[in-house]
Structure 1
Amino acid sequence: MDDPTAQATLPLSGIRVLELTHGHLEGCGRFLADLGAEVLLVEPRGGLPSRRRPPLKDGVSLHFASHNANKLSVELDLDDPAAIERLGALLDGADIFLESTPGDWLQRSGLAARLRPELVTLSLTDFGRSGPYAGFAGSNAVLLAMGGVLARSGIKGSAPLLPPGELAYETAALQAAWVALGALWNVSNGGAGGYFDFSVHEATLQILDPGMGVTGSAAGGRSALELAPRGRPPFGNGYPIFACRDGAVRICLLNPRQWQGMSAWLGDDHPFTDPAFASLSRRFKVIREINALIAELFRDQAAADLVAEGQRRGVPIAAVSRPQEVLRDQHFRARGSFVELPLGDGSAGRVPFGFVEIDGRQAGVRQPAPALDADSDRQWAAVAERQVQAQRRPFAGIRVLDLGVIVAGAELGRLLADQGAEVIKVESGAYPDGLRQSLDNRPMSISFAQGSRGKRSFGLNLRDPRGVELFKRLVAQSDVVLSNFKPGTLESLGIDYAVLSRIKPDIIMADSSALGNHGPLSRSMGYGPLVRASTGLTWLWRYPELDEGYSDSTTIFPDHFAARVSAAAIAAALLRRQRSGRGGRVSLCQAESILAALATDFLEESVAPGAFVARGNRDRFDAPGNLFPCAGDDEWCVINVRGDAQWRAFCEVLERHDWLGDPRLADAAGRLAHAAELEEGVAAWTAQRSPVQVRDLLQARGVAAGDMLRLDQLAADPQLQARRFFRTLHQPGLDAPLLTENAPALGPLPEPRIRPAPFLGQHTLEIAAELLGLDAESRAELVRDGVLEPASAEVEALLADAAGHPLDTETPT
């Protein structure tokens, strides 16, 4: 399985990571190891608790197996001074230190004094090390409730619904890797490392449908705050799911050309052949009637046949796959999306390989999770001390050409701009970014402002050969090129990686697409709802008791998540370029980012078919663990009892001494067997209290509990206020300032510079002069010919009106 030659070419080859964490965020170290870092797990006597974490196969933890592949292991008794000294020596040779040690343990052990200025130390905890919730016990469900995700999941008339898997932790782990690698890039350029306080709670707010982030193109430029209802969203007619002969399919009809294909598929005699129905808003007025016709057409056909015919007609469509079907899927098989993983008991399962391809090769599983203390003799030479320069934003001096569109494209460029990169959005009015559309036809939308703040806009016609040549001249002066066009688009324009790498051999190209850049379905039209359907997420994100309880129609997962995966991989590629002078290509398949975020569940499904199913809100490993109604109008809380100690504390808070004395409930298996009975009693107790009262009573005793927050409640949250989570964006063209997010972790680096998003073509002429050296006459000619696209007169007037307004917010609100 291991290929030493391939590992040596991975971007983090030679980087050493010391991991002293427990459980939920082991995916951070796993991703760094996938990219080539040497990641050494420090385990206590007997091994990490995650070695015993369910689900188990013949005593082997499938979570540990999937989250610790490619790592090394050393066992240390952390109560022994000699072991502490050994740990300190390893710290002296580490580049990154991942830790989730309790309280002030680092200070008491003396290791805090060993944290060199050049070392990147990343503290990984549920709520961060500061603020009123710093000591709270977390769980995936608690974080989703308090992060504003749960309130928007589910369907009208039902209780809120938790998404499948452990998406809060899995997505936060990749954001943590982005923080670590951004800081390491800063160190490699003379800056300091330092201590970064990372909160999963805050990461959840930033990655899983952020209220302050980019929304999908169907949102018409509106913000998540505007779109979020108080209750559950109505069943999604925008991305409808239709039953067919052997399952179900989902379609996405957004632009006129797609509707024309669907209309022709319906035949010539249906009531909606009028060209006026090419308008999305017009179709939405009769969407129920249109969907009824499509349902009748699809009912007796096989899903595979419908997908093939949809592709032929230009209709975006995907099968709603079940996990076992995903494991057998021909496209994923052709891509090698799943690989064999030895489990240490002589057996093996199938697990998603990882997240990205580097230079056309998978950066994923190379070796199984280590046996305990398998690397007991590992020694690292101490890193030489050096003088540290003043802090700056890590990617200052890096120029990025951003061809990205919609959510994933916008977010990736924005992440780099926040951290100091000069990001030039290359765009054209003839093929505008879908985020620029707004219901009132303004030249700026809230969603575009959130996703492209801090960028510059260069209006350029890439359909004209002169535009292509100008783009190539920009590439020669740039470091990174971003694209999330459908595979084949850049080749057709003559600006694919093979071409650009000849112009600038050390250029880094990062491309992202729905189903990847190779495989039988790679050139399918990809939208988030179709990606979720193809990966099993749609089928899993539903109420198990309802035949049509699909509840992922309003989420835009995995776009924000995929952007962070790409950003971290770009940082790794820059580190390799600095070390070797070599550029490279980072390729992300959004579908595989979902698969990797559900790695443990797919591994379990491969060894126990039928195990990975829609589970609703009930926890599968202990009880009570569920969503409970509280006093008030549609108010809810989440409670997760884990382990016998929490169970005793829980019973004492509820004054249920009868439960404590009941031998049927003495362990997790017994409690799960009587979960319905327990939930009835808990619901009677929570119904008499507010969600905050429930949370505070239980958290005071160390029991994981959280109140379900809606988006409009987040700004007043005391934890987020205490940790300066929010910033204000003043955007020309919008009526009021926007609430936006701060840095992804508290630490020594300067906070993001919050600058407005550009209007289309706002910086065209200055970029043409500054970077391309075009004189006024040449610029005017190219504008007349439609090659360069400067800002419109309307935009110029808006910019003149905004002159002198406070557009650049350097300090948090």
Structure 2
Amino acid sequence: MSSATSLSDENVPGPLAGLRVLEIGTGTNAPYAAKLLGDFGACVIKVEAVAGDSSRLRGPFPDRRVDPEASGLFAYLNANKFGMVADLESASDQEAVLALLSRCDALITNLPPASLDRAGLTPALLRQRFPSLVITTISPFGPDPVWGNRMGDELVTFAMGGLAYSTPGIPDAADDREAEPPLHPNCFAAETLAGLIAANATLAALNHRASTGQGAHLELSQHATVASLQHRDVTTYSYLGGKYERLLNPITIGRMPNFYLPCRDGWVTVAAPMVEHWDRLVEGMGRPDWAVSERFATPKARTENWIELRNRLIDWTATLTGEQLFEFANAQQLPIFPFHSVRAVTSTDHLRARNSLVPIEFGTRSAQMPAAPIMMRRSPWSLRRRAPRLGEHDTSLRTQGWPQAHRDHRWAMPAAPAVRSTTGGQASAYRPLAGVRILDVGQFIAIPFCTLWLAWMGAEVIVVESGRRMTSRSAPPFLPGLEGNPDASGYFNLLNAGKKSVRVDMTTTEGRKLVRALACKVDVLVDNFSTGVIEKLGLDYESLRRENPGLIAVSCGAFGRSGPMRMARGLHSAVNLYSGVADVTGYAGGAPRILGGVLPDPLAGTYAGFAVMAALTERRASGVGQYVDLAMYEAMMTLIPEAVIDLSLNGIEPVRAGNRDAQHAPHGIFRCKDEGDWVAISVRDDASWQRLCTAIERQDWLSDPRFSNATARCDHVAALEAGITAFTRERSAKAVTEILQAQRVAAGPVTRVDQLLTDPILSRRGTIIETDHPLVGKRAQLGLPWQADTGAFHYQRAPLLGEHTREVLAALLGLDDAEFSRLEQCGALA
């Protein structure tokens, strides 16, 4: 990694080399969006306020000594950037920023609208002055008429977006409503998610600009971001209604067994949801009498008797260590996985083999940090320069402008090419990925979620599936009376909206030939099979690229396609436990818990979407595609850079602290008057603390030495929380929110997952969408969490099984009726 002092960025590797990005932001979300673009080759200039980015004071610091030039979080978020300081209310500094914007491709900012207005940098003004500029703005709630000017932060948006209520998440669940409130992990989860999705939105708009010359203003709500990733849980309430239950139950958990259980030396997930899984589990346990009894003979019986089943399995797991259970799982090919602490996972051979951690310099020290979670074979990410010192490049950037980076032709704006996608759409629809064709052979959530968003952005997505072996189409929920109907699965329909379905049986020779032929006619192939399966199907990248040199192939797996654990199987729960995220999630003094929303899947799917768009960008310059390997655990590790860096730097392991923050108080989720009613409250500075005391009429706290500053409040947090709870227990969450927000204190009601589909903020911004399916009718779901001023996204329903088989095979492979009939007769289209 080079010194940050040099302004030379010649011959930068990465798929985004030549892209120029200006970041005006603080904290995590905007800096993380710009970091992703910079890690993959973009030239990024970071503009900080005179006081510096807030993450400079967050740490972790060497030896825990506060130093704004030695913050681990700042170093992680801002490597690969040049830095300058600007007072955006100064006319000369405004001109300096405008000069940089005049030669810029994208601006990413999380400054409030009022700050942008005072700086003369409102999106409307910038769009007029720089029509080809892509502007991405991030805010807690977007320009909502009620919430647009309210206070929101990491905790409040996480809670209002539904993720706190669904944490602990399946197969974990709360056992006690009072003792286990809705839970936030000890990391910047919501902000990181918002940054990732802002980077995706920016890349999509740049792709659109490459064909139209048109810039865009992209407006992203962090609250909508958190909500939009919860498709799995939202599906149940779209199809069946009801109220989300946080306690362990078969409706929230799904097929049994799927449990989070104690073992001899820790915790382990035991998942055998499919019939073949259960059969292998029973055989591996030696066919005990209870397991082969009628009480557990069918999936229905196992669900009905789930409490007894859980207790029986605890009797078994309690006799074995996590390592023994993992070895058992590998032998039986089962998704059973033990908990790993951050210390344990960061010392594994697998992380070393994949270079999942990389050294980072800050101050006079160095530490390990999470690497980028995307391995692009031809144009990998790189760590080229440390984070800048405050104002380090100020003089050079003001006098010389942008660094002399190689500016290649991929960022030119040619005339629009012919669009070959046959996907329908309204003329006013915003389809930044129109013309991109994707073959989707993925299973369950991660890859279907990836291609769902890509389809909504205009890509033509072709799903290959078979009626002989259905995965997500066989998964509930189903509408009453349509149980088992492959076209009525809510799970499938909400994750595959806007796609085409081709029915091909890949277990047949002719079926495999068909899919391989399709792979030679598309831009992108995506899969999340277990390692080795794609090769057995004849779809290995090395052979395909000889016939389709422009092909981009993305493989997504729990542990990636390389390293000693590449053959291991793992569901979302295993990824939670292996990534270290469970180690920072939990109640004070309690066990590690699993994050809600089956989050590894939509998170990994979003990273896969970023990888697709980055590879498409590189292909515009090179003309050739590449292979991308994405490990879900590496995606999850991007949520916990503080924990990884603090352990590496100071040897300090993370602490599970419930909803408390180590540096600010109060910071928590508090019980309100009504059953299941909670409110999130976050105070991050002394001014907010004073306003809180005024709001709840506790001015006496202002002279109480226990609460005199943030450190004192953290030291006496139990007493502080008791006082706040006395206030909240007498009121509804809505009432508490209104009282605190009136005093500019960040607060918001904790939203249940089933409430997301009627959330007024999401409804007003158009994030709640509706599709009309010929079998299940109109169903609500959550759409993309950002809006573009260039048009609205066009949402379409999910396909029926095999609905587009004849259309696609005729259009892409030239199959006539006679050949189609022959393939039907030989079973290739079953």
Alignment-derived partner of residue 244 in structure 2: 229
Contact 2:296 2:305 (8 Å CA) reproduced: no
Matched, 1:765 2:806: yes
Task: Please state how far the C-alpha of 1:150 moved relative to its aligned partner.
Answer: 2.0
Pairing of 1:439-518 with structure 2 (within 5 A): 440-444=483-487, 445-518=489-562
Matched, 1:351 2:361: no
Look up the SS of the partner of 2:113 in the other structure: coil
Return the match for 1:39 from 31, 38, 44. Answer: 44
Provide the rounded CA distance (Å) in 2 between the counterparts of 1:257 and 1:372: 58
Look up the SS of the partner of 1:117 in the other structure: coil
Q: 1:279-320, CA deviations, whole angstroms, 9 ceiling, x for partnerless residues? A: 332223344444444433333433223212220122222111
Provide the rounded CA distance (Å) in 1 between the counterparts of 2:563 and 2:242: 36
Provide the rounded CA distance (Å) in 2 between the counterparts of 1:224 and 1:368: 49
Pairing of 1:716-795 with structure 2 (within 5 A): 716-734=758-776, 736-789=777-830
Contact 1:698 1:705 (8 Å CA) reproduced: yes
Q: 1:547-598, CA deviations, whole angstroms, 9 ceiling, x for partnerless residues? A: 5x7454x631111111111111211111111122121122211111111121
Provide the rounded CA distance (Å) in 2 between the counterparts of 1:291 and 1:6: 59
Provide the rounded CA distance (Å) in 1 between the counterparts of 2:679 and 2:243: 19
Alignment-derived partner of residue 661 in structure 1: 703
Contact 2:442 2:527 (8 Å CA) reproduced: yes
Task: Please state how far the C-alpha of 1:188 moved relative to its aligned partner.
Answer: 0.6
Provide the rounded CA distance (Å) in 2 between the counterparts of 1:349 and 1:725: 40
- Give the partner amino acid of 1:14: G
Pairing of 1:668-679 with structure 2 (within 5 A): 668-679=710-721
Return the match for 2:336 from 292, 310, 317. Answer: 317
Matched, 1:99 2:117: no
Provide the rounded CA distance (Å) in 2 between the counterparts of 1:232 and 1:591: 26
Unaligned runs of 5+ in 2: 169-173, 418-427
Contact 1:152 1:233 (8 Å CA) reproduced: no
Task: Please state how far the C-alpha of 1:5 moved relative to its aligned partner.
Answer: 11
Provide the rounded CA distance (Å) in 2 between the counterparts of 1:269 and 1:12: 57
- Give the partner amino acid of 1:689: R
Return the match for 2:14 from 10, 24, 34. Answer: 10
Alignment-derived partner of residue 249 in structure 1: 268
Provide the rounded CA distance (Å) in 2 between the counterparts of 1:210 and 1:73: 41
- Give the partner amino acid of 2:184: P
Task: Please state how far the C-alpha of 1:631 moved relative to its aligned partner.
Answer: 1.8
Alignment-derived partner of residue 96 in structure 2: 86
Task: Please state how far the C-alpha of 1:102 moved relative to its aligned partner.
Answer: 3.0
Q: How many residues align?
A: 778
Alignment-derived partner of residue 665 in structure 2: 623
Alignment-derived partner of residue 333 in structure 1: 352
Alignment-derived partner of residue 66 in structure 1: 76
Identify the range of structure 1 (76-85 vs 229-238) with the bigger mean alpha-carbon deviation. Answer: 229-238
Contact 1:209 1:557 (8 Å CA) reproduced: no
Look up the SS of the partner of 1:110 in the other structure: coil
Look up the SS of the partner of 2:22 in the other structure: strand
Structure 2 CA distance for partners of 1:754 and 1:628, relative to 1, 3 Å: same
Return the match for 1:192 from 214, 217, 220. Answer: 214
Provide the rounded CA distance (Å) in 2 between the counterparts of 1:787 and 1:276: 38
- Give the partner amino acid of 1:609: G
Return the match for 1:136 from 150, 159, 169. Answer: 150
Provide the rounded CA distance (Å) in 2 between the counterparts of 1:670 and 1:653: 20
Provide the rounded CA distance (Å) in 2 between the counterparts of 1:287 and 1:230: 16
Structure 2 CA distance for partners of 1:388 and 1:258, relative to 1, 3 Å: closer
Alignment-derived partner of residue 695 in structure 1: 737
Structure 2 CA distance for partners of 1:256 and 1:163, relative to 1, 3 Å: same
Identify the range of structure 1 (419-428 vs 160-169) with the bigger mean alpha-carbon deviation. Answer: 160-169
Provide the rounded CA distance (Å) in 2 between the counterparts of 1:276 and 1:775: 52
- Give the partner amino acid of 1:76: A
- Give the partner amino acid of 2:244: P
Alignment-derived partner of residue 166 in structure 1: 188
Return the match for 2:603 from 554, 561, 575. Answer: 561
Identify the range of structure 1 (171-180 vs 351-360) with the bigger mean alpha-carbon deviation. Answer: 351-360
Return the match for 1:110 from 102, 111, 120. Answer: 120
Identify the range of structure 1 (121-130 vs 381-390) with the bigger mean alpha-carbon deviation. Answer: 381-390
Identity score, percent: 30
Identify the range of structure 1 (521-530 vs 252-261) with the bigger mean alpha-carbon deviation. Answer: 252-261
Task: Please state how far the C-alpha of 1:660 moved relative to its aligned partner.
Answer: 0.9
Provide the rounded CA distance (Å) in 1 between the counterparts of 2:638 and 2:323: 24
Q: 1:334-391, CA deviations, whole angstroms, 9 ceiling, x for partnerless residues? A: 21111221222x2222111122111177525443222222323132399999999998
Matched, 1:425 2:469: no
- Give the partner amino acid of 2:191: Y
Identify the range of structure 1 (52-61 vs 483-492) with the bigger mean alpha-carbon deviation. Answer: 52-61
Structure 2 CA distance for partners of 1:278 and 1:772, relative to 1, 3 Å: farther
Q: 1:85-124, CA deviations, whole angstroms, 9 ceiling, x for partnerless residues? A: 1111100111110112233443443344444111100011
Query: Could you state the TM-score of these two structures normalised by the residue count of structure 2?
Result: 0.89
Unaligned runs of 5+ in 1: 216-221, 790-813
Task: Please state how far the C-alpha of 1:63 moved relative to its aligned partner.
Answer: 1.6
Provide the rounded CA distance (Å) in 2 between the counterparts of 1:38 and 1:147: 33
Provide the rounded CA distance (Å) in 2 between the counterparts of 1:679 and 1:111: 40
Look up the SS of the partner of 2:773 in the other structure: coil
Structure 2 CA distance for partners of 1:556 and 1:43, relative to 1, 3 Å: same
Structure 2 CA distance for partners of 1:87 and 1:665, relative to 1, 3 Å: same
Q: 1:1-20, CA deviations, whole angstroms, 9 ceiling, x for partnerless residues? A: 35999973411011011000
Task: Please state how far the C-alpha of 1:465 moved relative to its aligned partner.
Answer: 3.0
Identify the range of structure 1 (577-586 vs 18-27) with the bigger mean alpha-carbon deviation. Answer: 577-586
Contact 1:168 1:208 (8 Å CA) reproduced: no
Contact 1:17 1:40 (8 Å CA) reproduced: yes
Provide the rounded CA distance (Å) in 1 between the counterparts of 2:642 and 2:804: 47
Alignment root-mean-square deviation, CA? 2.7
Matched, 1:434 2:472: yes
Alignment-derived partner of residue 802 in structure 1: none
Look up the SS of the partner of 2:374 in the other structure: strand
Matched, 1:51 2:56: yes
Alignment-derived partner of residue 600 in structure 1: 642
Matched, 1:408 2:481: no
Look up the SS of the partner of 1:19 in the other structure: strand
Provide the rounded CA distance (Å) in 1 between the counterparts of 2:192 and 2:230: 11
Provide the rounded CA distance (Å) in 1 between the counterparts of 2:757 and 2:322: 44
Provide the rounded CA distance (Å) in 1 between the counterparts of 2:325 and 2:288: 21
Identify the range of structure 1 (683-692 vs 384-393) with the bigger mean alpha-carbon deviation. Answer: 384-393
Q: 1:377-415, CA deviations, whole angstroms, 9 ceiling, x for partnerless residues? A: 132399999999998411111111111110112111111
Pairing of 1:286-301 with structure 2 (within 5 A): 286-301=305-320
Matched, 1:123 2:134: no
Task: Please state how far the C-alpha of 1:775 moved relative to its aligned partner.
Answer: 1.3
Look up the SS of the partner of 2:655 in the other structure: coil
Contact 1:660 1:666 (8 Å CA) reproduced: yes
Task: Please state how far the C-alpha of 1:182 moved relative to its aligned partner.
Answer: 0.5
Structure 2 CA distance for partners of 1:5 and 1:145, relative to 1, 3 Å: closer
Structure 2 CA distance for partners of 1:551 and 1:13, relative to 1, 3 Å: closer
Identify the range of structure 1 (588-597 vs 57-66) with the bigger mean alpha-carbon deviation. Answer: 57-66
Look up the SS of the partner of 2:638 in the other structure: helix
Contact 1:355 1:364 (8 Å CA) reproduced: no
- Give the partner amino acid of 1:163: H
Task: Please state how far the C-alpha of 1:542 moved relative to its aligned partner.
Answer: 2.8
Structure 2 CA distance for partners of 1:14 and 1:702, relative to 1, 3 Å: same
Provide the rounded CA distance (Å) in 1 between the counterparts of 2:119 and 2:829: 62
